[in-house]
Amino acid sequence: MTFRLKPLQAAFIVAFSLPSLTLSTVAKADPATDARIEALEQQVKLLTTKLQQVSTKQDAPVTAAAEVAAAPAASPALGERTRKFFEAIKDVEFYGNLDVSVDGSTKGLKNSYNDVGGNRVVSPVGQNGWQSDLSTNLSYVGIRGKHPVGDTLSLVYQLETQIDITATAGSANSTSAQDTTVKGALTTRNSYVGLADARWGAVKIGKTDAPYKTSTARMNPFSGMWGDYSVIMGNTGGDNRVEFGTRLDHALWYESPKWHGWSFNALISPGQNRGYENSIQASGESSCTGGNIPGSGGGAIACVDGSYGTAYSANVAYENGPLYVTGAYELHSRVNRTGDVAGTPQALASPIGLDPNDVGNEYAYKIGAQYAFPTKTTLSAIYEVMRRNIPAYLNEQNERSRNGYWLALTQELTPDDSLSVGWAHANATPGDPGQHNTSAADGIGTISPDNAANMYTVAYKHKIDKQTTWYANYAVTANHALAHYDLGAGGRGVTTDCHDGQTIAAGAPNCYAGGRLQGISAGVNYKF
């Protein structure tokens, strides 16, 4: 840190110190205080000399390092402690990302819907049209550093937390979910301790964005904006919860260096769940795994909407000049979705009304490629497959198995300006458990529903300087009749979804498929 004093400030401080000198001269008549007074006078003289130097040399600021070097003359013990402090933190980096925006969005719901059989009319309630908001998007601060423990080996660490600028940090409770996780608390984001060597890579323990997520993050120019590709990519259920593209807690992972352009990352996150069906919180966790919020959708206060056991994630990548290619895979073991159905014979026979067979493995894999052309045009493409392994009779409610696609193009207009456009597509799924206007009569689900969706995004960015960017963007999620993909997943503080505005007195808000959600935004991003 650097300190500067103007000549007038320096003169004022020196003048202010003169009465102290006069009083000390009088006080010296008391022999008991002579030693302390003399030490004080020496320190005042040293300060006076430094201030005079600053007042005549404004281009030579007094730095923290200079103060440390001078301190031993007045107090050797204090100077040594200060030197050790600065030596200890010399490899510590403080960093962050601040992003706020002014937005408008609409759920795009119709006034009324027929159910799947066309037998009755259901109508959303509340304010389902355009709504304005201020949002904190993908904002965080953290510290990271390293400590040598050998010739080439270092201990590395990072502590990172989310920052809420336009809202107050707290638990994410709502009328339809009870979550005790505080997103703005310390170390809620990627945090770890590990060992790293430039020759063989790093092993870390903590929590982090999984390799499946990071492998294609560079192909998402809308990160934290409306239309972030996470609205559809890695998102099996269509909610603002991204199952395959997330941060994994209590994880152990390996990061390789680049070997002739090739790199490899692998992670395991032990389940830590005492329940065989993974319907309770994992040991040491404040909520369910996999982003499953207890009471989600107005259901049971339990982990029955996507909670899983052990997770595995890995990717391999190759980079050579303008070309980047990657492949990634992730598996979630024994995912509990028993809250999706209530009408199967197995559920009706169960004392708790849940089907025990609706617990199965879910996995995803994808390949992605990116190429930067000489025209300052960057093209990205991803093909993704997601599957859920459950008995055939449950396919009627299986909305977790599908394929997806992503295309994005970014054109640099000037060194400070760029324009990006993106398109994501979700194929239809084998079944649908029913979302109010899509509910089936048997209470299980709908076979071969028309629940495909497309998302279109456009964004303009302008660099104010190397650290500050202004942006504006627009996105729309166009759902087919029985689809309910949302808008805002992937780091936005404010999202919009398929639920209506039903009040807490009437129970959980209803979800209506077939909406055409839209969002428009203008914001600023500052990195340090």
What separation in angstroms does the CA of 215 have from each of 22, 154, 219, 405?
Answer: 70, 25, 9, 15
CB–CB of 296/305 below 8 Å?
yes
* Cβ atoms < 10 Å from Cβ of 344: 22
**500: which 2 tokens?**
């209506």
What length is written for the chain?
528
- How is 176-218 classified by DSSP, letter by letter? TB----BTTSTT-SSEEEEEEETTTEEEEEEEEE-HHHHTTGG
Q: How far apart are CA 314 and CA 97, in angstroms?
A: 26
**Phi, then psi, of 38 in degrees rounded to 5:** -65, -40
Q: How far apart are CA 436 and CA 446, in angstroms?
A: 12
Q: What pLDDT is stored for residue 31 in this prediction? A: 56
3-state secondary structure of 256: coil
- How is 95-161 classified by DSSP, letter by letter? EEEEEEEEEEEE----S-EE-TTS--EE---S--S-EEEEEE-S-EEEEEEEEE-SSSEEEEEEEEE
Q: What pLDDT is stored for residue 13 in this prediction? A: 38
3-state secondary structure of 314: strand
Q: How far apart are CA 495 and CA 487, in angstroms?
A: 6
CB–CB of 462/440 below 8 Å?
no
**HSE, side-chain direction, 13 A CA sphere, residue 338:** 25
- Below-50 pLDDT ranges, the chain: 1-29, 58-74, 175-176
Stretch (H or E) spanning 88? helix 76-88
**157: which 2 tokens?**
């660490």
Q: How far apart are CA 258 and CA 269, in angstroms?
A: 24
Q: How far apart are CA 498 and CA 239, in angstroms?
A: 8
Q: Which residue bears the tokens 């001078």?
A: 70
CB–CB of 457/225 below 8 Å?
yes
CB–CB of 459/222 below 8 Å?
yes
CB–CB of 92/143 below 8 Å?
yes
**292: which 2 tokens?**
């499953």
Q: How far apart are CA 338 and CA 303, in angstroms?
A: 9
Q: How far apart are CA 461 and CA 35, in angstroms?
A: 65
**286: which 2 tokens?**
């404040």
Q: What is the pTM of this model?
A: 0.81
What digits encode the pLDDT tens for the residues 221-255?
999 999 999 999 999 988 888 999 999 999 999 99
Q: Which residue bears the tokens 């206060």?
A: 301
| 153, burial (CB in 10 Å: exposed 0-12, middle 13-18, buried 19+) | middle
Q: What pLDDT is stored for residue 422 in this prediction? A: 98
Q: How far apart are CA 385 and CA 364, in angstroms?
A: 6
Q: What pLDDT is stored for residue 6 in this prediction? A: 42
CA end-to-end distance (rounded Å), the chain: 15
Q: What pLDDT is stored for residue 107 in this prediction? A: 95
Q: What pLDDT is stored for residue 299 in this prediction? A: 66
